[in-house]
Amino acid sequence: MDTIVLKFGGSSLSDNINLNIVAKKIIELKEEGNRIICVVSAQGKTTDNLIKEAKELSAIPNEREMDALLSTGEQMSASKLAILLTMLGHKAISLTGWQAGIYTNSDYQSSKIINIDVTRINEELNKGRIVIVTGFQGIDEKQNITTLGRGGSDTTAVAIAAAVKAAHCYIFSDVDGVYTADPRDVKLAHKLNSISYEEMSYISGEGAKVLHDRCVELAEKYNMPIIAASTFNKNKGTEIANSMEETLIKSIIKNDNILITKIEGIENPYELLKKLTKNKIKIGKYNYENKILNFTINKVNRAKVEKILDKEKGNTTIKSVTKISIVGSGVSNHMEILEIVLKAIEEIKDKIIDIDVSACKISILFDSIIETKYLNDLHDSLLKEKYI
Ligand code: ADP
Ligand code: ASP
Ligand code: MG
């Protein structure tokens, strides 16, 4: 009998109709003879709404309390699903992150799982129960509730799958796999049958929402195959494992969640950098020349960075920019790809502020938000030349 982990995201759990679809899927897989662990996200936009409500009370809410607040979203969906499965005649139990033995460090809002004690999960499985675990959360050594960062339920699922030595980890969402670009934005995007851990890690790292970046790292470390598939149909999903597809480029990503900060007249950028890293703010591109400092951050960190910069001398501006990344193992060995890319974005060439080519990706940073049309143009050009 295989143990499998099934993760359901917010859109799959958004209302009672969808909860019933999820329950049906779980029951089908259980009746095939599997031991089932489900990991659930909060329903629909619950987490966004909780963040909004907290920010109405304080611009930079206390991070420990934010974790206590946000973890409640997942508790609601887990218990509702257990109520429904029980009503449908199946033994089920919901467990919070801490009841499930998920121990993390104390980096509130972006904690890392350090250990999972699977005793309780195994006890419940042995009683024939479907075990529903709240995603995205755990407990630190002082018993504080912690969360793993936005989208972190994927990581909970893979970590549990590795800890219980599951056969597979399914990540179910509103899309039936990993596509060559976000299918909401790019009409001709097509689904990949399989993709390597390394490439998927770049796709997530560059900001594609479909999988949490740390879940891919963990899956690679424990050699855990992930299947990304849809909650709402039975289409074959994308397998993320040690496999390779034929096309060179796997996906292109448009990330509009980046801010570029420019400080003119700054004398000691090194001290500022230390303050930013001490506050766990991840810096992307960094450049210092003629007393002008430019660096990029994710927009979720805006308020924190503004607070730190408040004490800085110099003229500061912060604005939203777009990064487009083209991911595929070995792209840097094919300079003709960069040629195609540059041709496709020629109309916006004056907006390019940085080009970064590495073994697995080409990234282009623009000095403002770029229309989705250019992502489509780029995808079409690469498709025409059979690179994607
Ligand atoms: P969940 O709420 O189930 O965790 P997410 O919203 O986090 O789901 O991820 C699914 C979404 O990821 C899709 O609706 C899709 O718009 C987006 N997405 C972005 N890039 C890709 C891609 N390359 N392939 C598939 N989906 C993508
Ligand atoms: N509910 C959390 C979020 O919205 C975690 C997750 O969905 O994975 O980010
Ligand atoms: Mg997600």
* CA end-to-end distance (rounded Å), the chain: 39
**Ligand 2 atom closest to the CA of 156, numbered from 1:** 8
Let me know: does 38 contact 199? Beta carbons within 8 Å: no
Domains 3-174 and 251-384 share a fold: no
The fourth-level CATH superfamily of domain 3-174 is Acetylglutamate kinase-like (3.40.1160.10)
pLDDT for 1:
87
Distance 229 CA to ligand 1 centre (A): 11
**From 12, 14, 136, mutation site for ligand 2 pocket: most ligand atoms within 8 A of C-beta:** 136
Distance 268 CA to ligand 3 centre (A): 39
Distance 84 CA to ligand 2 centre (A): 21
Specify the CATH architecture of the domain 251-384.
2-Layer Sandwich (3.30)
Interatomic CA distance for residues 126 and 377, integer angstroms: 53
Let me know: does 134 contact 67? Beta carbons within 8 Å: no
Distance 352 CA to ligand 3 centre (A): 30
pLDDT for 339:
94
pLDDT for 245:
61
Q: Which tokens sit at 216?
A: 């891919």
**Pocket flag, ligand 2, residue 47 (CB < 6 Å):** yes
Q: Which residues of 13-78 form beta strands (DSSP E)? A: 35-40
**Pocket flag, ligand 2, residue 8 (CB < 6 Å):** no
**From 153, 156, 172, mutation site for ligand 2 pocket: most ligand atoms within 8 A of C-beta:** 153
Q: What ligand is nearest to the CA atom of residue 42?
A: 2
Distance 150 CA to ligand 2 centre (A): 5
pLDDT by residue for the chain (388 residues), tens only, comes to: 899 999 999 999 999 999 999 999 999 999 999 999 999 999 999 999 999 999 999 999 999 999 999 999 999 999 999 999 999 999 999 999 999 999 999 999 999 999 999 999 999 999 999 999 999 999 999 999 999 999 999 999 999 999 999 999 999 999 999 999 999 999 999 999 999 999 999 999 999 989 998 999 999 999 999 999 999 999 999 999 987 667 789 999 999 999 999 999 998 899 999 999 999 899 999 999 999 999 999 999 999 999 998 877 778 999 999 999 999 988 988 989 999 999 999 999 999 999 999 989 999 999 999 999 999 999 999 999 999 9
Domain ranges of the chain: 3-174, 251-384
